[in-house]
Amino acid sequence: MKLLFAASEAYPLLKTGGLADVAGSLPEVIRQQGVDVRLLLPAYGDVFERLASPPTVVAELVLAGEPVRILETHLPGTALLTWLVDHPLFSQRLGNPYLDQQGIPWADNAQRFMLLSRAAAHISTGDTVLDWRPDVLHCNDWHTGPAIALVHLEEQRPLTVFTIHNLAHMGLFDRETFTQLQLPEHFWQDNALEFYEQCSFIKGGLVYADYITTVSPGYAREICESPGGMGLEGLLRQRQDCLVGILNGIDVDTWNPATDHYIEQRYDAASLQDKALNKKSLQQTLGLEQRDDRPLLGFVGRLAQQKGLELVLPVLDQILELPAQLVFLGTGDAGYEQQLQSLADIHPGCMAVVLAYNESMAHRIEAAADIFLMPSLFEPCGLNQLYSLRYGTLPLVRAVGGLADTVVDATPASVANASATGFVFREPTANDFLAALQRACQQWQNKETWHELQLSAMAQDFSWQQSAERYLALYRTAAESRRQ
Ligand code: ADP
Ligand code: GLC
């Protein structure tokens, strides 16, 4: 079986969030199962310095009049063949692939990701010099949605799978942009790419894909209803027979407290007492008071509305009085950045804020914190709570999407039968969040039970194996049903 896996980012070449973690591990795990896989990514300017050796040119294409080169390399640290779509729209753009320095989407994003989509569609159906055509085209999120619409124009086409990592990002562009993209006019219809007088890239995947997946069973249910479906619930309900939720896995080598080179002191379930050294070291680095009589609460993530900061910021004083220490790592919305920074300035020694994208700091927080905060308003899967479980850092999450699917709330019953792995609250209110946090902090005082909870958390297996098998089974069933 041949698989083309197309995405806009993949760790370690370029990462802004969880999509990169998934695209950087799932295709490689599938390759290890014997599938002939190509990962397709844009050749962003920053990517070149992260390659072990210069890539080779394997094709020169002309896509909608634009000359494009396909460069071949391997995803660093793997044997996964990776094709990079090389065009100045990507290679001459450094930094965040979607946003400028002010956090505003690049004005030519429609042209840029249409080019990526056209490359995926061309490799899948066109005459290329590549001499390789996939049986399955698997696209991810809005950036590659149009690829699926385009291949469905062709008679000879691969099976198509589209994964929704986040429905909130739809790739919406105005009518004028749609015209400039030179797409078939009939795409401007409600049963195609048109969405309330705009062109929606994600609809390319949602309307046309043979199969739609999303990254947790919980989110698969939520998006078929309002408000989770964000206006697309009707379409998704129509397509429910072809929609499945497959929980993300995690890269258990990159995220392993026993081998993690970013952290001060490595540890595992048998040496959990050593975790405390990571807390001490982080407190020192970030100028927090060196104390072990209160829990350290960690947050790592995009500073976006999705992540539920609205539930945390209004009760920040109460949180610190629990008592607890707080550390935030993130970038994003300028308003949240400013609020967090001024709160940290008012509470030196108790609260630290790192407004940066910092891989090593993310690992250090996972290893150092006692409790990891993920009060998301919605969360398709969420990876940080899975990393937290593995690091014995108990996640405190809201009961939505993948968070509800992966964390078991510590109740007297679940603690007694050793199934509890964290703390869960329901309502999207600061009060509900604070009540759960109070519960967690009380529990933390009971060292013996806490230790038990940590062991249960660390024993969870969220490695890619199971999920990858589910994707493989989907490709096979789908291919089989097409043959018939
Ligand atoms: P999302 O994809 O919605 O951003 P996930 O929880 O799925 O959320 O994945 C986020 C990923 O991005 C995690 O690997 C997390 O560690 C990483 N991450 C987010 N913000 C930062 C940051 N400021 N510095 C380092 N890593 C970050
Ligand atoms: C998205 C979601 C996140 C998910 C990630 C990877 O960005 O917000 O919940 O874990 O994609 O699928």
What is the tens place of the pLDDT at every residue in 424-444? 999 999 999 999 999 999 999
> What residue type is 459 in one-letter code?
A
pLDDT in the model for residue 158: 95
Identify the burial level of 330 via C-beta atoms within 10 angstroms of its C-beta, where 0-12 means exposed, 13-18 middle and 19 or more buried.
buried
What the chain holds in terms of domains, given with CATH numbers, is 2-249+464-483 (3.40.50.2000), 269-458 (3.40.50.2000)
- The verdict on the CB of residue 398 being under 6 Å from ligand 2 is no
Mean pLDDT of the 399-426 span: 98
Contact 368, 278 (CB under 8 A): yes
pLDDT band, very low/low/confident/very high, at 128 (cuts 50, 70, 90): confident
Q: Which atom in ligand 1 lies closest to the alpha carbon of residue 166?
A: 3
- The verdict on the CB of residue 396 being under 6 Å from ligand 1 is no
Is the pLDDT at 403 greater than 80? The verdict is yes
Ligand found nearest the CA of 340: 1
Tell me how far the alpha carbon of residue 24 lies from the centroid of ligand 1, in angstroms.
13
Tell me how far the alpha carbon of residue 302 lies from the centroid of ligand 1, in angstroms.
6
What's the rounded Cα separation, in Å, for the pair 205 and 35?
Answer: 23
Ligand found nearest the CA of 304: 1
User: How many alpha carbons lie under 13 Å from residue 321 in its C-beta half-sphere?
Assistant: 5
Segment 256-312, tens digit of pLDDT = 999 999 999 999 999 999 999 999 999 999 999 999 999 999 999 999 999 999 999
Tell me how far the alpha carbon of residue 359 lies from the centroid of ligand 2, in angstroms.
17
- The verdict on the CB of residue 205 being under 6 Å from ligand 2 is no
Mean pLDDT of the 218-234 span: 98
- The verdict on the CB of residue 112 being under 6 Å from ligand 2 is no
Dihedral angle of Cα 185, 186, 187, 191, to the nearest 10 degrees: 160
Tell me how far the alpha carbon of residue 468 lies from the centroid of ligand 1, in angstroms.
21
pLDDT in the model for residue 141: 98
Q: Which atom in ligand 2 lies closest to the alpha carbon of residue 401?
A: 9
- The verdict on the CB of residue 414 being under 6 Å from ligand 1 is no
Q: How far is CA 200 from CA 65, 117, 412, in A?
A: 23, 13, 47
Mean pLDDT of the 469-478 span: 94
Tell me how far the alpha carbon of residue 62 lies from the centroid of ligand 1, in angstroms.
35
Mean pLDDT of the 112-129 span: 93
Q: Strands 66-74 and 56-63, how do they pair?
A: antiparallel
pLDDT in the model for residue 89: 98
Helix spans in 24-60 (H): 26-32
Is the pLDDT at 484 greater than 90? The verdict is no
* Pocket residue to mutate for ligand 2, from 19, 376, 398, most atoms within 8 A of Cβ: 19
Ligand found nearest the CA of 401: 2
Q: Which atom in ligand 2 lies closest to the alpha carbon of residue 306?
A: 8
Structure tokens at 244: 């499945």
pLDDT in the model for residue 157: 94
Segment 323-372, tens digit of pLDDT = 999 999 999 999 999 999 999 999 999 999 999 999 999 999 999 999 99
pLDDT in the model for residue 51: 96
Tokens 């004028």 sit on residue? 176
Going by alpha carbons, the residue nearest to atom 5 of ligand 2 is: 18
Is the pLDDT at 75 greater than 80? The verdict is yes
Is the pLDDT at 388 greater than 80? The verdict is yes
- The verdict on the CB of residue 265 being under 6 Å from ligand 1 is no
pTM of the model: 0.97
Ligand found nearest the CA of 378: 2
pLDDT in the model for residue 480: 79
pLDDT in the model for residue 193: 98
pLDDT in the model for residue 80: 98
Q: Strands 243-245 and 56-63, how do they pair?
A: unpaired
Sign of CA dihedral 478, 143, 24, 124: positive
- The verdict on the CB of residue 145 being under 6 Å from ligand 2 is no
Q: How far is CA 414 from CA 402, 408, 411, 421, in A?
A: 19, 8, 5, 9
Structure tokens at 27: 């295709």
